[in-house]
Amino acid sequence: MALREIVLVPEPVLRRKANKVTTFDKSFQQLVDDMIETMRAAPGVGLAAPQVGISQRLLVMEFGDEEDEEAPKKLYVFVNPEIVKSSEEKVTGVEACLSVPGMAGEVERYQTLVVKGLNRFGKPVRHKLEGWTARIFQHENDHLDGVLFTDRATKVWQPSEEEIENIRD
């Protein structure tokens, strides 16, 4: 495994709709492993392939239980993800992004989602995501369509050091 460089705005790959993944070969598996390692080292809770300069519909995310910080984190790998269903309820939360350093914003997202896609080996997966896990998915999935959190934010600012520590994404 290797750390990948996280690209920053205004890198053009961050604004393009990513290509569908069709091959699950050794090279693709290496990309998945590298993205997981890069996300953890950043540190972040999610990473989309365009953020490492790769225009493919791949995202990784890892988040624990909001109520129990001691609980083990759950790792997700989504290839060619799609939102199947979203709740009517939306919630506003603070987001940041590894590709937009030094900025935070208030973004409204769906509270609950049902998502489908493929796992890293090309097998179908379907998950119900809620709360912060749903927020992380929506944030990373937006990257696959060239959308940044700043495009959706109702308010954007430069957070203080203390605020940065409290932002979960």
User: Residue 35: exposed, middle, or buried by beta-carbon count in 10 A (0-12, 13-18, 19+)?
Assistant: buried
- Tokens found for residue 37: 């390692």
**Token code pair at residue 152:** 């959706």
The single residue of 140, 162, 163, 165 carrying the catalytic annotation is: 140
5 is catalytic: no
Active-site residues: which are they? 140
